[in-house]
Chain A
Amino acid sequence: MTQNCSHAEILAGAIALGEASEAEREEYRQHIATCAACLRAFGGEREIERVMAAVAQAREVETWEPLPRRPGEQSRARTWRAGLSVLAAAVVISFAAHALVAAILRPPVDSNVANVERSTSTFHVTSEKRAPAAVPSPPSPLAHVAKTRPAPRSMVVVHNVVERHGSAVTQTTTQTTEVAQAPVPQITAPASNVPIWRRDEAMPLQQPARPAASPVPVLSGRAESLAVAPLTVVRDVVPIGGDAAINPRPASIAYEENAQGTTAFEVLVDERGLPTKCTITKSSGYLALDVSVCKAAMAAHYSPRTVNGKPTPGIYRDAFTFRPSSDEDSGIPQ
């Protein structure tokens, strides 16, 4: 019996492939007439041909043209992975190198400076770098203060000017108080020269802070640090992998309804590049399309908006237009 059934499988396979002779078809008919299990599992000849027609149809409607890939080029995912591992390796190596340098440098510096210069001439830069850090402390306490403060201040200015408005006012003002001690007069000049500001609302924020206080003494030191601020570079949110990274896949109901239209949307992207909220700003009129767009937008990865290289929350806006393809008529005969 099992012998017969496994032979019936071969016959059914031949029928499926359209290779069966009339004798083989007859044999199969006789088998399923007596074997309910095979009839249930494979069906009659018509049924077999119907199932196989779906496969053949998939071949007919295939339109995918693989992009010619340059030899040696790998998929994005793979390169990314390789890049990560290279990066990891680089980090490990740099750690090792630093540890090595530290190990080599430390003992000689402590014991004998002349020795260092002779034996590890290549590491001069490192030892020189260390020296200035030690120097500032000896001079007068006033000079010391002037040296250390500008560094955090220049950061605060950048932060304040470009980044926040509205919700973060309290935060900015607290930070601004620090800045407002001196830098204020300088910022007007460079700011007006440089048109890089993205958010104009941020500028007024700066002005109320200005009159707060302006002691003159350390101006020369701060002017340099302030000059950095106008170079602020804002880079907006971008989906990683370009616009094609967002790929809506509407539910099958959309095809049945012959849905079409344009869906515009915006995604809030936090400073880690993760989408936090998707809003449909213009609906296509079909729920399935809109839902698929937001689903795809939330599934994508983004590189966050950055202000001077510092990631901040941002908004990404885009739109998709759906229309039924011309192939579809031939696609669904049932």
Chain B
Amino acid sequence: MEEVYLTTQPAAGVQLRIEALVREYQTKLARYLRRMVGDSELALDLTQEVFLAAFRTLQRDPDRPLTAGWLYKTATNGAISHLRRRKIIRMLPLDRESDDRSWRIDERSAASVDLQAAIAKLPPEQAAAVLLTSYAGYSSNEAATILGTSPDAVRQRVCRAMKILRSVMTEQS
């Protein structure tokens, strides 16, 4: 499947657009996904899948405008479906907060790691709502479009996530 991406397609325009998207959003998406799934290798895999999906979409319909929202939506769907699949084996030590060898020593300031442990406890939809808004910087309206729901639902999810984060944070301190 990956070969499709590798082979040079005649549609050079598509190639250029994808490259521009990758340059612009790769870091942002990877960071967002890493917060979602708690694992950087996996985040990179998922990021790549997003761009692969973007490429396929553009191949099918070269004129389609691909916005950042579209990328985040694809990324969120990928992350959520991954987390749901993994929920089945949650009891194993391969939890979201484990195996985070990429949280380098220098950036593991106490706050960010504790936050990661707290985020790992959130249901995927709530994690997405919080991260899309306060982490990726979208308003609740924009996040609602990305998540395919209403702004009020996003606010509600943020509130419930905040409630969990708060209880985890008070536990820790």
A residues engaging B (CB < 8 A)?
6, 9-14, 16-17, 19, 41-43, 47-48, 51-52, 54-59, 61-69, 71-78, 247-250, 252, 255-256, 322, 325, 327-328, 331-332
Contacts and interface: CB of A to CB of B under 8 A. Distances in A.
A41 B167 CA distance: 8
A59 B134 contact: yes
Instruction: Output the residue of B26, B40, B44 with the most chain A CB within 10 A.
Output: B44
B40 A66 contact: yes
B42 A13 contact: no
Given A41-B163, A54-B111, A252-B110, A10 B45 contact: no
A10 B157 CA distance: 8
A55 B45 contact: no
Contacts of A249: 101, 103, 105, 108
A71 B109 contact: no
B111 A71 contact: no
Given A6-B156, A72-B5, A77-B41, A54 B165 contact: yes
Contact of B112 (A9, A43, A47, A57): A57
Interface string B83-107: 0000000000000000001111111
Interface residue SS majority, chain B: helix
A13 B134 CA distance: 11
Contacts of A14: 140, 155
B106 A66 contact: no
Interface in B144-165: 152, 154-160, 162-163, 165
A11 B151 CA distance: 11
A19 B2 CA distance: 42
B82 interface: no
A77 B109 CA distance: 27
B43 interface: yes
A42 B6 contact: no
A309 to B, nearest CB: 31
Contacts of B163: 41-42
B162 A328 contact: no
Given A17-B140, A68-B26, A71-B2, A255 B109 contact: yes
